Each structure stands twice: as structure tokens, then as C-alpha cells.
Chain A
Amino acid sequence: MHTEAIDPAGITWLRVSPKYVTVRVVGWAAGNLIVVGLLTVPLVMVLAGAWTWPPLWLAVAVPAVMLLLALWRLLLIPRQVRSIGYAERDEDLLIRRGIFYQRTLVVPYGRMQYVDIGAGPVERGLGLCTLKLHTASAGTSAEIPGLPAGEGARLREQLSARGEARLAGL
């Protein structure tokens, strides 16, 4: 996997499980299909002759645009998942994500307050989990989704041990 321009030099990213794509697709379906479905209601009503407003072109255009946007988002999901990466360095953990809006985050081990592991129903079914790091700042929002459960547990233990060794005050 190539390294993006804003990443620090010489980093080998560990990627999250490709199965996480499924989790994202399920989430995408739950959100977008419902919206598109709801927006299709006026079209059906106009076609059935029950409604005179909106005009047909509008009733077609709105769900069509939403559907295109949704499909585009769907196509992006595999690339977005591939763009998530993390790397453990001696003193800090790096997390990157994003294709268009990229973000590379550095969390020093000494700043971690606690580590969370969570798994939603879909993630649990696929044997994945999401790891969250918390610092004293709410803005940190350090999250690694789609980790295999074993890797998540290993990472949590590793981070806790390193954090304890380097814990600093606020």
C-alpha cells in the first residue's frame, strides 16, 4: 500500500481487515437505501396519479440524484477502508484515514487515558472490533475500526502497557 503525501516518512502502515468493507456496506445500506426509498414515494404517487404535485421530472430527479450519490459513496467504501491504517512507533501511535479528506493522527502513549474496544452486531458476526483511544482532549477521536478481534486484544494490551510505562500528567 502506497504512502500518501501527508504521512510521515518511513512508516509502514498496518491495514485493517478487508472484511470491514462489509460492515461499512451494511451501514451504507441502512442509511442510504432508506433515504432513497423515502424519496421514491412521491414518484410512485405521481405515477399512480394520486398526486398532482410535484411535477414528474422533479419526482424522478430527486431520488435519481440521491441514488447516484449513494452509489458513488458505495464505490468509495473499499478505497476508504483501504486508506485506514495504523502504525505503532516507539513513543506514539499513528492513525491515518481518508482519501479526499485525509487525516494523520499522532497519539503519544503517555497521553492515553484509556483504551476502549467495542463491536457492533455486524462487526461481531465477522469477528471484528473497533478500538478507541481516549486522551484528555475530546478532539483526539482516535479510532481504529475493523480490527480482527485477536489483533484488537493484542493492540489494547500493548497500548495499555506502553501507556502505563510513559504516563504523564495533564
Chain B
Amino acid sequence: MPAVKPGGTGIAAEAGAGAEAGTPGGGWLRVHPASPFVRGWFALAAIAFFVGRDTFERMLRGGPLIDQDIAGRAPWLLLGGGAVLLLAVLGYILGWYFTRYQVAEGYVRVNSGFLFKQQRQARLDRVQAIDIVQPLLARIFGLAELKFEVADAGASAVRLAYLRIGEARALRATILARASGVAADPDHPEAVVAEAPEHAVLSVPPPRLMGSLLLSEQSFFVVLGGAVSVVLSAVTENRSFYFYLIPAALGLVAAYWSSFNKGYNFTAAISPDGIRLRYGLLDTQAQTLPPGRIQALRVSQPPLWRIFGWYRIQVNVAGYGAAGNNGENSARTTLLPVGTFAEVLTMLSLVLPDPGTTDPVRVFTAGVNGLAPASGSASASGAAPANDGGFVTTPRRARLLAPLGWRRNGYSATDTALLIRSGRWWRHLVLVPHQRTQSMALEQGPLARRFGVVDLVLHTTAGPVAPRLIQAGLEEGRALLEAQSARARAARRRQTSEHWLEQVRPPVAAPAPAVEAEPREEPSNKEGPHHG
């Protein structure tokens, strides 16, 4: 039962318990009957491919369609094959028949299995993200898979594959409405909840996506690898190892294709239920991240992207977990695959509707692009000059430890989030909302002690972002640990409920129009100065 945390039962009975049909069996639904075949198509296609290829080759050779040797045994083979196929299909169908789901009483429940029964329930207000995934084949049939993520960081808590796309959307709307704290209509508990209105914020044009891939880190290594192999072949006069580069090249093509396929047609939108992301060329995916579910965020810029002023945003979300080797998870934890600075500010305003500072543009600009003056006056107990957005950087005495980065490595705290910036060439800005801080640690090695600096590590849920403030001055670091504990404590007190419409929040964040209004005006007044 991954969704239920100890001690968290105090707010369990809120989402209209008793109003909905609570008896087991009431409102239980099955996934779409075609699902077994859409899920099992790969096995069927593989069988068809091998049988078909064999037959086809014999036809090309002019032989009989069925091999002479096995012609006598053909009935038995057919019978055996048919039995296996029948069993497989029966297994799929039974699996489908015995898998039923229900959304009621603030829980989503799934019962599955016919030999080994499994009952799973996940609390709706613990939802961390909801994804609707459409692999190519499912897309052709108008079906979609719904993934419901809780803070488990393992496999999805609930996967419903496949539903009709309309059903999946309606179910998502219902789950999000219940989770947000909208009580069901007591007279019509089964009434369909209208999908929350959404407002498109930005999209990534395909040319820019291709450009970003060509200028990405991996392209750098491709060029480097190519140059090395050319030099090597010239020096050793050995041509044969070009042969070994073929698999590497194929792998690279696959990697580029995967990034392109996942990032194609990326659009972001905002709704009262949170941030909506859609992307994909062949397989499409629509993610919904409810408000406050982003645990940490990183804006980064590889060196070559600076030519066009592009940035990437990645996030930690409790349900998504760490990015594995498969491209799927790295796509899911990407909030913006490539965007301009204005778009970065827009996304930041969605993630952090209340930036906690009077001049967010200046602070974020300093965080993404800023550099402390070389004089080192910025390190003097937080008295940073006005043009560096309040960032406190590595003290000048430690510049030998980070000859390039010492003017860049720094932090700045607003009322709602801690910003950590680093990297002179590979620029990074990490943002952790105070509410989301789990625990913190100061770390210091012998060399750092010699220079009187200390690292501050913020612990967050598994994901691509690992917030670490490097080489802060000793006094600043200690003060920050105390101050940050106090800020996180105050922020936790403000967050009273996981139903985001009920949360006591600053007025900026509560109603949808305010959230929508913000990105509207921001690009207009930011575009000018940063793209001159």
C-alpha cells in the first residue's frame, strides 16, 4: 500500500466519503476489451514475423510452402501451436476479465489476478502525477494508458491499460477533482466531472528541438570521438576499426531519435489541476503535475546552447523516481526540453506561483546567468551588490578551489524557495521550494576546511536533480542551515492539506486565473532586456 503513510490518516475521510457508492462491486469498471491484444501485439507480431519469414524464404527458393520434412507432422505442430496461442489468449482475456478498477471514497482501487488475487488502493490526495500514455498502436485504436503515481518512486501505483482516450481523460479529471478537494455532488456521485480548463503556455518548435539536439553534450562527444578515430586511423594506418564504429553510430542514431521522438511537439499548459505537459511524435504522452508536487527543479545550459540562449528544465517528482537507462523516465522528468529565457521564466512562474520576492526576474536572471563581481565583495555576509540578485557566492579566499566557478557558485533564498546556482560553462540553477525540503546536511572535507568553506546538501526525492550548494563560506553555510531549517518549518506549517484547492496559500496561487495571468504578462516585460 504505497500511498498510505503512517500517521497520515488524519485527513483521510475528506473527499466526500459516504456520498459515493461505497459498497464493493458498485462502480467497478474494466479496462477496454481490446487491451489484451494491444498489449500482447508484440508477441503476436513476433510469432507472425518468424513464421512468415520462414515461409517467405522458402517461396523465394521455389520450394513448397511447407517444408517436406515437417509436412507429415504439420497437423501436430499446428495443434500444438494453436493450443499455446489459445492458452495465451485465454490468459490475456482472463487477466482482462479479472482486472477491475474503481474510483470512490477518496481512493482509486484496482483488483487484479484470477489465481493470485491482488487488491491495491491508493489515496487520491497522495497523487503526485497522472500521465496518459498512448503508444503508437494504442493511438491508432484510440486507446490510452493511464498512470497514477504516488510517492513510491518505483513502478506506477496504478496503471490502467487501456482505456478509450475519452474515458482516460474523464477518469483523470475525476481523480484530479477528488484529489484537489472538490467534493462529489451528493445526489449524482457518478456525474462526470468536467475537465479543468487549461491555458496553453508554450510550445517547442521542431527546428529548435533539432538544433538543441545537434548542439547538445552528446554531439560534443560525437565530434570528439570522430576526431579521435580519424587521428588514430591516420597515425596507425589501420582502417579496420571504422568497422567497430558502426554499432556506436547506430546507438547514437537511436539516442537522437529517442530524444527527438520524445521531445517532438512539446507543449505546456496550466490548469487549476496543475501543469500539463504533452509531447511525442509516434508515442504521445500527456502529464499532469498537480500544484506543489515538484520537489526540486534545475535549469541548465550546456555551453553550446549559449549561442542561442537556450535552457533545459528538469524536475524531481516523487512518483517518477530517478531517471533510469530508458529514455522514458528522462522525458518524464523534463519540464522543458529546450526553451528561451523568457520561457524558462514562464515555467518558473508556473512551478512557483509565489516567487517570494518582489523582483523575481532579477533574482532568476542572476541565478541563471549571473556572475559575482571579481572583487569578492559579494561574499561579505550576504551584502551582495544589487545587480547579482542577492546571491551569496564562494568567498574570495577559496578561489583556488574553484578558479572558474567561485564567482558563480552561490545561493539566494526567497520567501518560498532556495536557489542554488553553479557552473561557469555548464550553467545550473537549482530551485528547491522551502515546503519540499526533506532534510539537510553540511559537509566539509579536509581541503574545504583549509579554505574555510562548506557544502550544503539538500535532500530531496529521487530524480535528476541533486541540490548541493558547493563551497559556501563557513559562516554563511552555518547560518544558511539554521535559516533554511526555520524557513522549511514555517513553510510546512502553511501547508495544511494535500487537497490543493483547500491549502492555505498566498492569494496569488489559489485561484486559477491568477496563475494564468502571470505567464501572460511576464514574457512581455522580460523579453527585451535579455535578448538584446
Please state if B439 and A170 are interface contacts (CB–CB under 8 Å).
no
- Whether B111 sits at the interface, judged by CB under 8 Å, is no
Please state if A136 and B318 are interface contacts (CB–CB under 8 Å).
yes
* 8 Å CB interface, B429-453 against A: 435-446, 449
Contact with B along A79-103 (1 / 0, CB 8 A): 0000000000001100000001111
Please state if B7 and A163 are interface contacts (CB–CB under 8 Å).
yes
Contact with A along B36-76 (1 / 0, CB 8 A): 00000000000000000000000000000000000000000
**B475, closest chain A residue (CB):** A5
- Whether B520 sits at the interface, judged by CB under 8 Å, is no
Q: What is the total of A-B residue contacts with beta carbons within 8 Å? A: 100
Please state if A135 and B295 are interface contacts (CB–CB under 8 Å).
no
Please state if A170 and B295 are interface contacts (CB–CB under 8 Å).
yes
- Whether A151 sits at the interface, judged by CB under 8 Å, is no
Q: Which residues of B contact A6 (CB under 8 A)?
A: 442, 444, 454, 474, 477-478
How far apart are the CA atoms of A142 and B441 in the complex, in Å?
A: 10
Please state if A102 and B485 are interface contacts (CB–CB under 8 Å).
no
Q: Which residues of B contact A138 (CB under 8 A)?
A: 462
Which of B101-109, B377-385, B487-495 forms contacts with chain A?
B487-495
How far apart are the CA atoms of A148 and B207 in the complex, in Å?
A: 64
**A106, closest chain B residue (CB):** B440
Q: Which residues of B contact A114 (CB under 8 A)?
A: 6
- Whether A152 sits at the interface, judged by CB under 8 Å, is no
How far apart are the CA atoms of A128 and B462 in the complex, in Å?
A: 32
* 8 Å CB interface, B473-488 against A: 474, 477-478, 481-482, 485, 488
Q: Which residues of A contact B436 (CB under 8 A)?
A: 170
- Whether B498 sits at the interface, judged by CB under 8 Å, is yes
How far apart are the CA atoms of A136 and B2 in the complex, in Å?
A: 12
- Whether A117 sits at the interface, judged by CB under 8 Å, is no
Please state if B457 and A139 are interface contacts (CB–CB under 8 Å).
yes
- Whether A157 sits at the interface, judged by CB under 8 Å, is no
**B452, closest chain A residue (CB):** A5
Which of B7, B462, B466, B489 interacts with A108 by CB under 8 Å? B489
How far apart are the CA atoms of A113 and B435 in the complex, in Å?
A: 16
- Whether B8 sits at the interface, judged by CB under 8 Å, is yes
Please state if B445 and A135 are interface contacts (CB–CB under 8 Å).
no
* 8 Å CB interface, A126-141 against B: 135-140
- Whether B460 sits at the interface, judged by CB under 8 Å, is yes
Q: Which residues of B contact A107 (CB under 8 A)?
A: 439
At the interface, is chain B mostly helix, strand, loop or mixed?
Answer: mixed
Which of B440, B461, B478, B485 interacts with A170 by CB under 8 Å? B461
A80 to chain B minimum Cβ distance, whole angstroms, is 14
Which of B8, B459, B495 interacts with A135 by CB under 8 Å? B459
- Whether A110 sits at the interface, judged by CB under 8 Å, is yes
Please state if A104 and B492 are interface contacts (CB–CB under 8 Å).
no
- Whether B5 sits at the interface, judged by CB under 8 Å, is yes
Contact with A along B112-138 (1 / 0, CB 8 A): 000000000000000010000000000
Please state if A8 and B478 are interface contacts (CB–CB under 8 Å).
yes
Please state if B481 and A106 are interface contacts (CB–CB under 8 Å).
yes
How far apart are the CA atoms of A102 and B440 in the complex, in Å?
A: 14
How far apart are the CA atoms of A136 and B293 in the complex, in Å?
A: 13
Please state if B441 and A104 are interface contacts (CB–CB under 8 Å).
yes
**B474, closest chain A residue (CB):** A5
- Whether A169 sits at the interface, judged by CB under 8 Å, is yes
How far apart are the CA atoms of A167 and B497 in the complex, in Å?
A: 11
Q: Which residues of B contact A108 (CB under 8 A)?
A: 437, 439, 485, 488-489, 492
How far apart are the CA atoms of A168 and B437 in the complex, in Å?
A: 11
Which of A106, A111, A167 interacts with B441 by CB under 8 Å? A106
How far apart are the CA atoms of A13 and B151 in the complex, in Å?
A: 33
Please state if B439 and A140 are interface contacts (CB–CB under 8 Å).
yes
B108 to chain A minimum Cβ distance, whole angstroms, is 18
Please state if B466 and A101 are interface contacts (CB–CB under 8 Å).
no
Please state if A137 and B474 are interface contacts (CB–CB under 8 Å).
no
How far apart are the CA atoms of A166 and B488 in the complex, in Å?
A: 13
How far apart are the CA atoms of A135 and B481 in the complex, in Å?
A: 18
A91 and B443 contact, Cβ closer than 8 Å, known pairs A5-B449, A6-B474, A169-B495: no
Which of B6, B438, B449, B454 interacts with A137 by CB under 8 Å? B438
Please state if B439 and A103 are interface contacts (CB–CB under 8 Å).
no
How far apart are the CA atoms of A100 and B489 in the complex, in Å?
A: 31
- Whether A46 sits at the interface, judged by CB under 8 Å, is no
* 8 Å CB interface, B5-23 against A: 5-8
Q: Which residues of B contact A9 (CB under 8 A)?
A: 478
How far apart are the CA atoms of A140 and B461 in the complex, in Å?
A: 10
Please state if A139 and B492 are interface contacts (CB–CB under 8 Å).
no
**B151, closest chain A residue (CB):** A170
Please state if A102 and B443 are interface contacts (CB–CB under 8 Å).
yes
- Whether A105 sits at the interface, judged by CB under 8 Å, is yes
* 8 Å CB interface, B160-206 against A: none
Please state if A136 and B7 are interface contacts (CB–CB under 8 Å).
no
Please state if A100 and B446 are interface contacts (CB–CB under 8 Å).
yes
Q: Which residues of A contact B445 (CB under 8 A)?
A: 100-101
Please state if B5 and A113 are interface contacts (CB–CB under 8 Å).
yes
**B446, closest chain A residue (CB):** A100
Contact with A along B141-160 (1 / 0, CB 8 A): 00000000001000000000
- Whether A116 sits at the interface, judged by CB under 8 Å, is no
How far apart are the CA atoms of A108 and B485 in the complex, in Å?
A: 8
How far apart are the CA atoms of A91 and B159 in the complex, in Å?
A: 38
Please state if B492 and A103 are interface contacts (CB–CB under 8 Å).
no
How far apart are the CA atoms of A114 and B462 in the complex, in Å?
A: 17
Q: List 12 A-B contacts (CB under 8 A).
A: A7-B478, A101-B444, A103-B441, A103-B443, A104-B441, A106-B439, A106-B440, A113-B5, A139-B457, A142-B439, A169-B495, A170-B295
Q: Which 5 A-B pairs have the closest CB atoms?
A: A137-B459, A137-B438, A139-B459, A105-B441, A168-B492
Which residues of A are at the interface with B, using a C-beta cutoff of 8 A? 5-9, 91-92, 100-108, 110-111, 113-114, 135-140, 142, 163-164, 166-170
Question: A5-B449, A166-B492 known; 19 other A-B pairs, CB under 8 Å?
Answer: A5-B474, A6-B442, A6-B454, A92-B489, A101-B444, A102-B443, A102-B444, A103-B443, A105-B440, A105-B441, A106-B440, A106-B441, A110-B489, A113-B6, A135-B438, A136-B461, A137-B462, A140-B459, A170-B293
